[in-house]
A and B are shown apart, each in its own frame.
Chain A
Amino acid sequence: MAQQREAAIVGIHEYPSRYDPDVSAIQIKAASIKAALDDAGLKWSDVDALYDAQDGEGGGGLGLAAYLGLKPTVLDTTQVGGSSYEFQAAHAMRDIAAGKCNVAVLSYGSKAATLRTPIGTGGATGGGSWQANMEAPYGQTLIANYAMVAHRHMHEFGTTSEQLAEISVATRYHAMRNPQAVQAMNDLQFVGVNEITIQDVLDSRIIADPLHLLECCMVSDGGGAVIIASADVARGTKKKPVWLIGSGEATSYRENGGDITTSAGAQSAPIAFAEAGVSPSEIDVAMIYDSFSITVAVMLEDLGFCKKGEVGEYISGGRMKFDQPGGPALNTDGGGLSSNHPGMRGIFLLLESARQLRGESTSQAANAKLAVAHGNGGLLGGTHTGGTVIMASD
């Protein structure tokens, strides 16, 4: 299949604050949309398509357009947790290619830090559904679910905590070069806003065996917006377009006898790479949802950067750092671990991919031409979704 260049990211904005008690989530969305349109040189009234993950007070499919004062011809309310924005980017590509719209807006706003939302350690409270009734009595926190994937990966492949810690180390290395991430860690009262070592990770307390605190993402306020436009519109925007050249979507869930060390990414990534007509070895920048270290480890395998079971060896020695050879630059904004995780990180994967392919990252990979963003929604060791988007520089 020939690579298509019909839709491009033309405007981006990441809401700068990670702790902002004085705004609402829907205000973060609206302010980010305006800033991203300004970044593109497009007008408010140019927007003809809204993609929304049903976040933001009084927003969602019914409220967001009314709040913004827009009358889009495409309204897509795909909500698949942290991967929502990769799915939405895929849908925007399709809708633009089909001629349904020209200027698509994805936005996100969250107040998880202000509200002290216990995303990882809240545990299931409810019950009352086919799924919750079988899980509520057992105290499964979100972190513990991911930790179960880590234990199985360790059991099957000999992966170690020392190896997984490489992901936290590389991510913090990038975060310390990103002023927004440094501010975030200060505002959220991180202990030790500095580069970290493997030993630092191992010395941090265990939240759910085998995952340590420094293998877990932060809980921040925040948000942002992405403007995706048709090729015609992209030719007239202020910055170089970042082309969307391939996408894949998948879901996975606990199955009797199933293998939880393999994620939905193993299904979505080959679809995306085939559509893009590129291979993982050509990728310069990998923006992979780092809710936890193990999430990235599994995705590096499932995206095809190394074989299943070999990620421990692959990530050893720091090759994920932006200035090291031998692999793609990983999560160069500082990731969910050390820059921004308000609950659904998927939008930031697109934002930093675009920065890299424009040459604007604070940990800029040399001569970056191809990036992959892979979002994960839900529980890695249970029901989850994977969305893969491949992007190319102009």
Chain B
Amino acid sequence: MSKRPMPKFFEPDTQAFWDATNDEQLVYQQCKACNEVVFTPRAHCTSCGSADLEQKTSKGDGTVYTYSVVRQNRNPAFADLGAYALAYIDLDEGFRMLSNVVGVANPQTDVKVGQRVKVKFEKQDEGEYLIPLFEPI
């Protein structure tokens, strides 16, 4: 449990993504016109501009593309976490997401580029959304 900042709404591009997290679903979009995978979510395809996007659910499996262990963050919301691993995760469906790698004893030694990870949804002390995080498989 922690006190991560929540997404804020009204924000129409990201509402469906966060609604889905409360059902423990990690969703992304794919363009029906050109098949481009679109992430982060928005109302148009970043390849062809089409508004005809389909929402799909990821299996939540991915690979750490890169990471950093944050030792200093002046934002008090992260004070309880200690040093934590920030990472880009490449999901198997073809989208890249910013998240944290959690569930390791020591992020400085236990998180690696190329590591396989799986999504988990974490409830926070405050706020209405579950936050998708990743754990080594």
Contact A127 B8 (CB under 8 A): yes
Report if A133 contacts B (CB, 8 A).
yes
Contact A118 B74 (CB under 8 A): yes
Interface residues of A toward B: which range? 35 or more
Most buried by A among B7, B11, B97: B7
Contact A209 B8 (CB under 8 A): no
Q: Which residues of A contact B103 (CB under 8 A)?
A: none
Contact A139 B86 (CB under 8 A): yes
Give the residue of A129, A133, A139, A143 whose beta carbon is less than 8 angstroms from that of B75: A139
Q: Can you name the residue of chain A whose Cβ is closest to the Cβ of B90? A: A257
Contact B5 A148 (CB under 8 A): no
Contact B100 A207 (CB under 8 A): no
Q: Roughly how many angstroms separate A254 CA and B131 CA in the complex, as a whole number?
A: 21
Q: Roughly how many angstroms separate A234 CA and B94 CA in the complex, as a whole number?
A: 54
Report if A72 contacts B (CB, 8 A).
no
Q: Can you name the residue of chain A whose Cβ is closest to the Cβ of B81? A: A139
Q: Given A133-B14, A135-B98, check contact A121 B108 (CB 8 Å).
A: no
Contact B74 A130 (CB under 8 A): no
Those of A137-184 within 8 Å (CB) of chain B: 137-141, 143-145, 147-152, 155
Report if A122 contacts B (CB, 8 A).
yes
Contact B95 A256 (CB under 8 A): yes
Q: Roughly how many angstroms separate A206 CA and B74 CA in the complex, as a whole number?
A: 15
Contact A144 B66 (CB under 8 A): no
Q: Which residues of B contact A144 (CB under 8 A)?
A: 68, 70, 86
Report if A255 contacts B (CB, 8 A).
yes
Q: Given A121-B72, A123-B78, A139-B100, check contact A130 B5 (CB 8 Å).
A: no
Interface residues of B toward A: which range? 35 or more
Contact B7 A137 (CB under 8 A): yes
Give the residue of B5, B71, B96 whose beta carbon is less than 8 angstroms from that of A208: B71
Those of A191-243 within 8 Å (CB) of chain B: 205-211
Contact A148 B73 (CB under 8 A): no
Q: Can you name the residue of chain A whose Cβ is closest to the Cβ of B15? A: A133
Q: Can you name the residue of chain A whose Cβ is closest to the Cβ of B5? A: A136
Q: Which residues of A contact B78 (CB under 8 A)?
A: 123, 139
Q: Can you name the residue of chain A whose Cβ is closest to the Cβ of B28? A: A256
Q: Which residues of B contact A145 (CB under 8 A)?
A: 68, 86
Report if A73 contacts B (CB, 8 A).
no
Q: Roughly how many angstroms separate A260 CA and B90 CA in the complex, as a whole number?
A: 13
Contact A127 B5 (CB under 8 A): yes
Q: Which residues of B contact A124 (CB under 8 A)?
A: 5, 75
Those of A256-291 within 8 Å (CB) of chain B: 256-258, 260
Most buried by A among B4, B5, B100: B5
Q: Which residues of A contact B9 (CB under 8 A)?
A: 128
Q: Roughly how many angstroms separate A255 CA and B81 CA in the complex, as a whole number?
A: 28
Contact B73 A139 (CB under 8 A): yes
Q: Which residues of A contact B100 (CB under 8 A)?
A: 138-139
Contact B66 A149 (CB under 8 A): yes
Q: Roughly how many angstroms separate A367 CA and B97 CA in the complex, as a whole number?
A: 48
B127 CB to closest chain A CB, in angstroms? 9
B84 CB to closest chain A CB, in angstroms? 6
Give the residue of B66, B77, B113 whose beta carbon is less than 8 angstroms from that of A381: B66
B47 CB to closest chain A CB, in angstroms? 10
Give the residue of B6, B96, B98, B99 whose beta carbon is less than 8 angstroms from that of A257: B96
Q: Which residues of B contact A4 (CB under 8 A)?
A: none
A356 CB to closest chain B CB, in angstroms? 34
Contact with A along B92-132 (1 / 0, CB 8 A): 00111111100000001000011000000000000000010
Q: Which residues of B contact A136 (CB under 8 A)?
A: 4-8
A77 CB to closest chain B CB, in angstroms? 26
Q: Can you name the residue of chain A whose Cβ is closest to the Cβ of B131? A: A137
Q: Given A133-B11, A138-B100, A256-B96, check contact A206 B88 (CB 8 Å).
A: no
Q: Which residues of B contact A149 (CB under 8 A)?
A: 66
Report if A125 contacts B (CB, 8 A).
yes
Q: Roughly how many angstroms separate A254 CA and B97 CA in the complex, as a whole number?
A: 9
19 more CB-based (< 8 A) A-B contacts, given A133-B11, A139-B70: A126-B8, A127-B7, A128-B7, A128-B9, A130-B41, A136-B5, A136-B8, A137-B4, A138-B4, A139-B84, A144-B68, A147-B68, A148-B68, A151-B113, A152-B65, A209-B68, A255-B96, A257-B90, A257-B94
Q: Footprint of A on B, CB under 8 Å?
A: 4-9, 11, 13-14, 17-18, 37, 39-42, 65-75, 77-78, 81, 84, 86-88, 90, 94-100, 108, 113-114, 131
Can you list 23 A-B contacts with CB-CB less than 8 angstroms, sorted by A residue number? A118-B74, A122-B73, A122-B75, A123-B74, A127-B7, A127-B8, A128-B9, A132-B7, A133-B7, A133-B11, A137-B4, A139-B75, A140-B70, A141-B72, A143-B68, A148-B68, A151-B68, A151-B113, A206-B71, A207-B72, A256-B37, A256-B39, A258-B96
Q: Footprint of B on A, CB under 8 Å?
A: 118, 121-141, 143-145, 147-152, 155, 205-211, 254-258, 260, 381
